[in-house]
C-alpha cells in the first residue's frame, strides 16, 4: 500500500484548487485503478498503522481484501490522524475528494464529521468503525458487542486469579464505548466469583487517552500494587504501558482488539493471559466486500459473538496450563454458547 504521506499533498492541493474555483465535492469519482475495480481509502485514527491494536486490525481487514483479489493494492490509500486527532475531518474529506468508492473511518471520533459531509459525496460510501453517524444512504456504522468478548476475558481472569482482586484499565472515559468493555469484564468476573474485587482506572477523557502508554503504565502499576494480579486493558496504544507494568510487577495482563501476545516481547507474552479479540478486520473486510458486490448496507452493522465479531484469543503462547488451560477454555466456550443462546444477558453499562 502506498504511503499515507501522499494524501497529505493531495489535501493541500485540494484546498488550493477549491480556493481557485476547482472541482466540487459531489463530482463523480475519477478513473479507477487497473481493471476498473473499486477504490478504497482508510482514515486511521490517532496512533495509525503500527499501534498493535485498533488501527492495525482495520489494516488487516484491508489487507485481506487485497489478498483475496477484491480490491487491487494500487487502488487503496490511507491517511493517519495527527497526534491530537484535530485533522480527522480534513482527512476524510481528502479521501472523499479523491473519489474513493469506500472511505473507512477507523474510530467513533469520525462520526460527527461524516454527518456533516456525507450528503456532499453521494457517490462515496462511508463506513465508520464504532460509529454513531446519523442514518444516510451512503453511511454504515460498524459496531461491536464489546461487552460480550469482555465478559469472556473477565471470566478467564476470575478463573485464574489467586489474589481475589483484578483490574480494568480504560482509555477514554465518558463516551459510553469503553464503558461497555468495563461492564462486560466486570460481569464476567462476577459470573465466576462475585466475591472478586474489580479495580477500575481510566486514563483520561479525550482520545489522547489512547496514546499515553506512560500513564497506562503508572495506573497499571498502581492497580498491581493495590492487590490486582490480572489487569485487562481497553486503552488502545496506552495498553503498551500495561504490558511493561506486568513485567515489572510480575502480574498477568489481558490484551484487546488484536491478539496482543503475537506482537508483544518475549518477556511480555508469557504474562498475557489472553486478549479480547475485537474483529475490526472482519467488519472492514465485509464493508469492502459489500461495496465490491454493490450491496453496501447503510445504518448499523453489529458484530458480536454470534457473528464472530468478538472472542477471546488462544495461541501457541497461552495454550498451556500456566496460562489458559484446556479446562478454562472449555468453561469459556460454554459461557460463550450461553451468551449466543441468550441464556446470559451481558450488560453494556457498568453498575452504578
The matching CATH number, chosen from 3.40.50.2300, 2.40.160.20, 3.20.20.140, 3.90.1570.10, for 5-144+280-303 is: 3.40.50.2300
Per-chain mean pLDDT for the chain: 91
Reported as a single tens digit per residue, the pLDDT across 169-215 is 999 999 999 999 999 999 999 999 999 999 999 999 999 999 999 99
pLDDT band for position 52 (cuts 50, 70, 90): confident
Does the pLDDT of residue 73 top 90, yes or no? yes
Contact 185, 252 (CB under 8 A): no
* Across 31-60, average pLDDT: 80
pLDDT (0 to 100) of residue 32 = 36
From the number of C-beta atoms within 10 Å of its C-beta (0-12, 13-18, 19+), residue 347 rates as: middle
Does the pLDDT of residue 51 top 60, yes or no? yes
Reported as a single tens digit per residue, the pLDDT across 103-159 is 999 999 999 999 999 999 999 999 999 999 999 999 999 999 999 999 999 999 999
Q: Which residue has the higher pLDDT, 312 or 17?
A: 312
Percentage of the chain modeled with pLDDT above 90: 86
Reported as a single tens digit per residue, the pLDDT across 226-252 is 999 999 999 999 999 999 999 999 999
CA distances from 149 to 2, 33, 39, 231 (A): 34, 38, 32, 15
* Across 318-345, average pLDDT: 98
pLDDT band for position 67 (cuts 50, 70, 90): very high
The matching CATH number, chosen from 3.30.450.20, 3.90.550.40, 3.40.50.720, 3.40.50.2300, for 146-278+319-340 is: 3.40.50.2300
Q: Which residue has the higher pLDDT, 5 or 221?
A: 221
pLDDT (0 to 100) of residue 142 = 98
Nearest-angstrom CA–CA distance, 214 and 238:
7
For the chain, the domains span: 5-144+280-303, 146-278+319-340
Residues 6+ apart with CB under 8 A from 286: 301
Instruction: Please give the grid coordinates belonging to residue 90.
Output: 480534513
pLDDT (0 to 100) of residue 189 = 99
Dihedral over alpha carbons 96, 235, 56, 301 (to 10 degrees): -60
Reported as a single tens digit per residue, the pLDDT across 5-38 is 344 433 333 333 333 333 333 333 333 333 348 9
Nearest-angstrom CA–CA distance, 333 and 125:
37
pLDDT (0 to 100) of residue 54 = 84
Query: Matching CATH topology for 5-144+280-303 and 146-278+319-340?
Result: yes
Does the pLDDT of residue 1 top 80, yes or no? no
Among candidate residues 352, 315, 169, 346, the one with its CA nearest the CA of residue 253: 169
pLDDT (0 to 100) of residue 25 = 30
* Across 242-270, average pLDDT: 97
CA distances from 154 to 22, 120, 189, 256, 274 (A): 54, 44, 5, 12, 10
Q: Which residue has the higher pLDDT, 264 or 52?
A: 264
Does the pLDDT of residue 222 top 60, yes or no? yes
Instruction: Give the sign of the dihedral formed by CA 249, CA 200, CA 150, CA 325.
Output: positive
Amino acid at each position: 500500500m502506498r504511503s499515507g504521506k501522499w494524501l497529505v499533498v493531495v489535501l493541500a492541493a485540494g484546498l488550493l484548487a477549491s480556493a481557485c474555483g476547482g472541482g466540487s465535492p459531489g463530482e463523480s469519482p475519477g478513473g479507477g485503478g487497473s481493471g476498473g475495480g473499486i477504490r478504497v481509502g482508510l482514515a486511521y485514527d490517532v496512533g495509525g498503522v503500527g499501534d498493535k491494536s485498533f488501527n492495525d486490525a482495520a489494516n488487516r481487514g484491508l489487507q485481506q481484501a487485497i489478498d483475496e483479489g477484491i480490491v487491487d493494492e494500487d487502488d487503496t490509500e490511507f491517511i493517519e490522524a495527527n497526534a491530537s486527532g484535530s485533522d480527522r475531518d480534513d482527512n476524510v474529506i481528502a479521501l472523499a475528494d479523491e473519489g474513493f468508492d469506500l472511505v473507512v473511518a477507523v474510530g467513533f471520533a469520525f462520526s460527527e464529521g461524516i454527518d456533516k459531509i456525507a450528503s456532499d459525496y453521494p457517490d462515496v460510501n462511508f463506513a465508520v468503525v464504532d460509529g454513531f453517524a446519523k442514518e444516510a444512504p451512503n453511511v454504515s456504522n460498524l459496531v461491536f458487542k464489546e461487552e460480550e468478548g469482555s465478559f469472556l476475558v473477565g471470566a478467564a481472569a476470575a478463573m485464574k486469579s489467586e489474589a481475589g482482586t483484578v483490574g480494568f484499565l480504560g482509555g477514554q472515559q465518558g463516551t459510553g464505548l469503553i464503558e461497555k468493555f468495563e461492564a462486560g469484564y466486570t460481569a464476567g468476573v462476577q459470573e465466576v466469583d462475585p466475591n472478586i474485587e474489580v479495580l477500575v482506572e481510566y486514563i483520561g477523557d479525550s482520545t489522547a487517552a489512547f496514546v499515553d502508554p506512560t500513564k497506562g503504565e503508572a495506573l497499571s502499576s498502581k492497580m498491581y500494587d493495590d492487590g490486582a494480579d490480572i489487569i485487562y486493558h481497553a486503552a488502545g496504544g496506552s495498553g503498551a504501558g500495561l504490558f511493561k507494568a506486568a513485567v515489572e510487577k510480575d502480574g498477568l495482563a489481558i490484551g484487546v482488539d488484536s491478539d496482543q501476545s503475537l506482537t508483544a516481547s518475549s518477556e511480555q507474552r508469557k504474562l498475557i493471559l489472553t486478549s479480547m479479540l475485537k474483529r475490526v478486520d472482519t467488519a472492514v473486510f465485509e464493508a469492502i466486500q459489500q461495496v465490491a458486490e454493490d450491496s453496501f448496507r447503510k445504518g448499523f452493522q453489529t458484530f458480536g459473538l454470534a457473528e464472530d465479531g468478538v472472542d477471546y484469543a488462544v495461541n501457541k503462547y497461552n495454550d498451556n496450563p500456566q496460562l489458559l488451560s484446556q479446562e478454562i477454555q472449555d468453561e469459556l466456550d460454554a459461557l460463550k454458547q450461553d451468551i449466543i443462546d441468550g441464556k446470559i444477558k451481558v450488560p453494556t453499562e457498568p453498575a452504578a
